[in-house]
């Protein structure tokens, strides 16, 4: 699922933010004291990018006051904590050159070394759902899905779980998603066997 989605780049207008997912590290020493907040060994940082666009629609839910239509999603685990160069690398790998990236004014994003239009802005907490609605909803939905299915998540496997969530989210309007997944799995296995045997 992850390999398939990695073939595509996000374009147009992009919402960018990060989320903290609670994980268990099997590599942590038992006697090592746990940190709190950012940098905690129990938290894994995930960079979330959602392609969206402004729409004029009178039927938009007033509960959310969201005037953006959601298209596609990417979620990438950031290993080793906050790392500005790694953030830049992940954005370049997943976002097209003609995109406009909207993010909050966090110091993690203000130094992004990207060639396209980047709009960091200070966002009051009450307006986060209006300015960056789809990244926040995606993070909430992913966390809820993981809590419903798993008792605990090892940090080594978090990206795999997120790949499954993103794959299904990006194909929410497709028919025969399972059949598509079978074809994708077989084609990647075939390519892998062909490259290694050649």
**Residue 11, class by beta-carbon neighbours within 10 Å (0-12 exposed, 13-18 middle, 19+ buried)?**
middle
Whether 74 shows a pLDDT value over 90: the answer reads yes
Q: State pLDDT tens for residues 123-145.
A: 877 777 778 889 999 999 999 98
Whether 113 shows a pLDDT value over 80: the answer reads no
* pLDDT for the residue 188: 77
- Pairwise pLDDT comparison (65 vs 132), residue with the higher score: 132
Question: SS3 for 176?
Answer: coil
Q: What is the mean pLDDT of the chain?
A: 79
Query: What distance in Å separates the CA atoms of residue 36 and residue 110, rounded to the nearest whole number?
Result: 24
Query: What distance in Å separates the CA atoms of residue 13 and residue 62, rounded to the nearest whole number?
Result: 22
- Name every residue whose Cβ is closer than 8 Å to that of residue 57 and which is 6 or more positions away in sequence: 67, 69
Full residue range of the structural domain in which residue 126 is found: 2-197
Number of domains in the chain: 1
In this structure, what CATH number is given to the domain that contains residue 160?
3.30.420.10
Kindly provide the b/e burial profile for residues 166-189, where b requires at least 16 CB atoms within 10 angstroms of the residue's own CB: bbebbbeeeeeeeeebeeeeeeee
Question: SS3 for 198?
Answer: coil
Q: State pLDDT tens for residues 144-179.
A: 988 888 777 888 889 999 999 999 999 988 888 888
Q: Is residue 70 within a helix (H) or strand (E), and if so which, with residue range?
A: strand 68-78
Token pair of 171 as six digits:
């194909």
Q: State pLDDT tens for residues 42-58.
A: 788 899 999 987 776 65
User: Which phi and psi (to 5°) does residue 103 adopt?
Assistant: -140, 170
């Amino acid at each position: 699922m992850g390999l398939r989605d990695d073939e595509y780049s996000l374009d147009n207008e992009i919402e960018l933010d990060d989320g903290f997912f609670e994980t268990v590290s099997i590599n942590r020493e038992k006697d090592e004291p746990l940190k709190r907040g950012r940098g905690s060994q129990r938290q894994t940082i995930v960079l979330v990018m959602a392609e969206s666009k402004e729409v004029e629609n009178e039927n938009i839910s007033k509960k959310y006051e969201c005037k953006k239509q959601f298209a596609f999603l990417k979620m990438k685990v950031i290993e080793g904590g906050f790392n500005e160069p790694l953030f830049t690398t992940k954005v370049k790998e997943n976002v097209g050159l003609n995109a406009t990236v909207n993010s909050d004014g966090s110091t993690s994003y203000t130094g992004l070394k990207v060639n396209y239009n980047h709009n960091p802005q200070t966002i009051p907490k009450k307006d986060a759902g209006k300015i960056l609605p789809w990244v926040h909803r995606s993070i909430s939905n992913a966390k809820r899905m993981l809590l419903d299915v798993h008792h605990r998540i090892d940090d080594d496997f978090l990206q795999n779980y997120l790949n499954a969530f993103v794959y299904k989210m990006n194909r929410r309007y497709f028919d025969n998603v399972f059949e598509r997944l079978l074809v994708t799995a077989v084609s990647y296995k075939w390519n892998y066997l062909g490259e290694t045997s050649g």
